[in-house]
Amino acid sequence: MSSVPSPPSMLDAMSPHAAATYAKLSSFCLGPCLAAEKPFADFMAGRHGAARWTKLPPVLLELQAKARELGLWNLFSPHESGLTVREYGLMSELMGRAYLAAYATNCAAPDSGNMEVLHGFGSAEQKRRWLGPLMGGRIRSAFLMTEPRVASSDATNVCTTFTRFDCPERKVPCYRVRGVKWWSTGASDPRCSSGGCFIVLGQVAAPGEPPPEGRRHDSHTMLVIPADAGGVERVRALTVFQHDDAPFGHAEVALNDVVVPVSEALIANEGDGFAIAQARLGPGRIHHCMRAIGLGRRCHELMVERSLVRTAFGKPLLRHGMTQEKVADSLAALECARAITLVCADKIDKVGAKNARDSIAMIKYKVPELVLKIIDDAIQVHGAAGVSEDTCLAQAYSYMRTLRIADGPDEVHKMTVARIESKRAIGRLKAKL
């Protein structure tokens, strides 16, 4: 794998501290992290039975120790790393080139977003109990929002209920949590299932009453609950294109009358759920998109290298016009995706995520769309090898196709962009009157 080129544009400018971090991270991602992919895959391919969900591959633990030693830990947190959103975006691009890099540096979703929630909105006790261990990598967490019984692309449909009642056993006001969630990434990780926590989005319901009928954006609330609380049932490990992604996984989780004290579980205030979610998802999308671009760059390089050494019909593939078109288009797509994402990150740094909603929504659909096409072209150039386990391309395709749904389907984000743009047009028309 070739080295990452020196950043060429103003959008890549970094502070001396960030530049030093970037240099260390580049060596770490393109060296130990890439080298660890095969032993990690070999461990998981060993079909260790239930141990696949109870034991982490030793090579991952070795990477985490190395990342700590290098000071490449919790880079996502500006409070810990001293990086801006844009600077961390550049780090994410590097991490996207190696599957294990985000896990090795304690920067993987959903933990990074959950830690941001707890840092920004959690109580002192929640920070002590959950944030500290998460920042230390001693536990993992999951974010429970999506539900199988409703169209969660409209998050106001989420209907898990938090019912207040006076709990005689605990002698304090409690919530009774009822609902079913799925695509709860990390919920089956051994560090989450034993001692970790869930952040759950739901609606507060009065005793004996159904959840509110009004679909307002102030009707939802977030709780943090122990992942091993009584009533928590991991129904199954969901598969993505028939792969279960052990040991991390994406679980379906039933919350069967889970009882938690209000004072321990409530994040911020009742009704703040959507505001917290928006604060969580803005910078997080920069991380996802820049990692996607890094992965796209890796796949593009594989495509070019393959087309140079593979001969068909008397000449290397790269001398065929159709392959040349794929190579050129994929490079242009990478540069476009990278530019709009770094511009978005710069806007968040300068005016905040709330005032960058249009840019955030734009990269949410456009970057995965562009990178997915790059990966598909790389698979085509590789032929049968592209869909096998001999390259990273099949895994990359699965991940990127899933990303077009994971944070809401493309259509939702396009709708957001169109609505914001229509408001601007209305303002221009009114100004002309």
DSSP string, 403-427: HHHHTS-HHHHHHHHHHHHHHHHHH
| Locus of tokens 């695509």 | 183
Determine the CATH number of domain 275-432: 1.20.140.10
pLDDT score, position 1: 47
H-state helical runs in 250-356 = 262-265, 273-309, 321-351
> Which residues, other chains included, contact 247 with Cβ-Cβ below 8 Å and sequence gap of 6+?
44, 52, 53, 54, 55, 56, 57, 188, 189, 190
**One-letter amino acid identity for 164?**
R
- The vertex-98 CA angle with 96 and 99, nearest 5°, equals 90
Q: Where in the chain is the domain with CATH 1.20.140.10?
A: 275-432
Residue 261, phi then psi, degrees to nearest 5: -65, 140
CA 14, 17, 19, 25 dihedral sign is negative
pLDDT for the residue numbered 247: 87
Q: Going along 159-293, which residue ranges are E strands?
A: 161-167, 172-185, 197-205, 220-226, 232-238, 250-261
**CATH number of this structure's domain 140-267:** 2.40.110.10
CATH 2.40.110.10 in the chain is located at 140-267
Q: What is the pLDDT along the chain (433 residues), one digit of tens a residue?
A: 445 544 557 788 999 999 999 999 999 999 999 999 999 988 888 655 567 788 889 999 999 999 999 999 999 999 899 999 999 999 999 999 999 999 999 999 999 999 999 999 999 999 999 999 999 999 999 999 999 999 988 888 999 999 999 998 888 999 999 999 999 999 999 999 889 999 999 999 765 565 555 556 678 999 999 999 999 999 999 999 988 888 888 999 999 999 999 999 999 999 999 989 888 777 788 999 999 999 999 999 999 999 999 999 999 999 999 999 999 999 999 999 999 999 999 999 999 988 999 999 999 999 999 999 999 999 999 999 999 999 999 999 999 999 999 888 999 999 999 999 999 999 999 999 8
Neighbours of 370 (CB within 10 A): 25
| Domain 10-108 is found in CATH 3.40.50.720 | no
Cα(134)–Cα(115) distance, integer angstroms: 7
CATH 1.10.540.10 intervals, the chain: 10-108
What is the distance between the alpha carbons of residues 389 and 22, in angstroms, rounded to a whole number? 30
Of 180, 191, 195, which is closest to residue 53 (Cα–Cα)? 191
Q: CA neighbours within 13 Å on the CB side: how many for 332?
A: 6
Q: 385-394: buried (b, 16+ CB within 10 Å) or exposed (e) per residue?
A: ebeeeebbbb
What CA–CA distance (Å, rounded) separates 116 from 281? 10
